Amino acid sequence: MLDPSTRPALSLLPLVHLLDAHNVAWVMTGSTVLALYGADIVPADLDVTPSLDSANLARLAEALRDADAIPAFTAGWRDDFTVETCRAWRPEPPTEEQLEWLYVTRHGMLDVPMRMCGTYDDLLPTATQVAIGGVMTTVCDPRRVLERVMRLTSPKHRARATLYQALGSSLGQAPAATERLLRAPR
C-alpha cells in the first residue's frame, strides 16, 4: 500500500494512458494545463475533472484501483481526516463525494476536482484536444485555470502571480509543451 503522506513526482504519461485504458471521460485542468501552454512550472499533480455520470465515475473508480490510489493525507485539513482514514478509503460507492480527493498513486499525484474550474459539462465546450503520448486528451481552456489560480493566496500562488499574468497575455497560442511534460519526473 502506498503511503498517504508522500508526494511522489507526477508521471503524466502513465496516468493519461491509465485513464484512456479505462475509457474515463475527463478534462485536464490545473497547473498541467498551464504548463502545456508554456508556463515555466513543474506540475505536482494531474488535475482530472471527470464527467459526473455514474457509469463514468465507476470507470474512474476502477482506474483509481488500478493505480493503487490512496487519498493524500494533509495534516490539519479536516478534524476527521487521518492517515488511517486514507488507508481505509475505498472507491465505493463511485460517487462524486467518494472520489473527489487528491490521491497518491504509483504514477505520482492525481487530483480529482469535480467542480473547481467548472464541471466536465461546463468545461467541454471551450476545451481543446491535445495529443499526449499518442492519446487524444481533452484540455481545459487555460483561461479557466488562470481565473481560478489568480484568486488563490497561498505562498505558492503568490510566488507565481507574475508568471500567471505573463501567461495570460500569451494565451492565443496553441499548447506546445507536451514533450517537456512527458520527460521523466524529477
pTM score, whole prediction:
0.86
CA 48 from centroid of its chain's CA atoms: 4
Given this structure, which CATH class describes domain 12-174? alpha beta
Write down the pLDDT at residue 181: 56
Degrees to nearest 5, angle at CA 169 with 171 and 158: 105
Q: What is the pLDDT of residue 48?
A: 98
> What's residue 124's pLDDT?
96
Q: What is the reported pLDDT for 184?
A: 46
Quick one: pLDDT at residue 168?
65
Q: For each successive 10 residues of the chain (186 residues), what is the average pLDDT? A: 95 97 97 85 94 98 98 84 93 96 97 92 95 95 79 67 67 54 51
Q: 33 and 126 in contact (C-beta within 8 Å)?
A: no
Which residues are 108's β-sheet partners? 105, 106
Alpha-carbon distance 66 to 163, whole Å?
36
Paired residues of 135 in beta bridges: 132
Neighbours of 167 (CB within 10 A): 22
CA distances from 62 to 3, 65, 84, 90, 109 (A): 20, 5, 22, 11, 17
Q: Largest Cα–Cα distance of the chain, in whole Å?
A: 46
